[in-house]
Amino acid sequence: MKTNKKSKIRNVAVLTSGGDSPGMNAAIRAVVRMTHYYGVKCYGVLRGYYGLINDEFVEMGPRSVSNIIQRGGTILRTSRCKEFETSEGLKKAALNLSRRGIDALIAIGGNGTYMGAIDLGKIWKGKIIGVPGTIDNDLYGTDSTIGYDTAVNTALDAIDKLRDTADAHERIFLVEVMGRHAGFIGLETAIAGGAENVFIPETTTSIDEVSKQMEMNYRNGKTSSIVIVSEGDEEGNAFTIAKKLQKASGREYRVVVLGHLQRGGSPTAADRRLATELGAFAVEQARIGKTGVCVGRVGGKLVLTPLKIAVHKRKKLDSFLLKIFKGLAS
- Residue of 20, 103, 119, 136 marked active site: 136
Closest to 128 in 3D by CA, of 161, 158, 90: 90
Query: Which residue type is seen at 200?
Result: I
End-to-end CA gap in the chain: 47
- Pairing verdict, β 172-177 and 253-257: parallel
Closest to 45 in 3D by CA, of 35, 55, 36, 37: 55
Q: Backbone phi, then psi, for 156, in 5-degree steps?
A: -65, -40
Q: Known catalytic residue: 149?
A: no
* Chain center to CA of 151: 9
Residues recognised as catalytic: 136
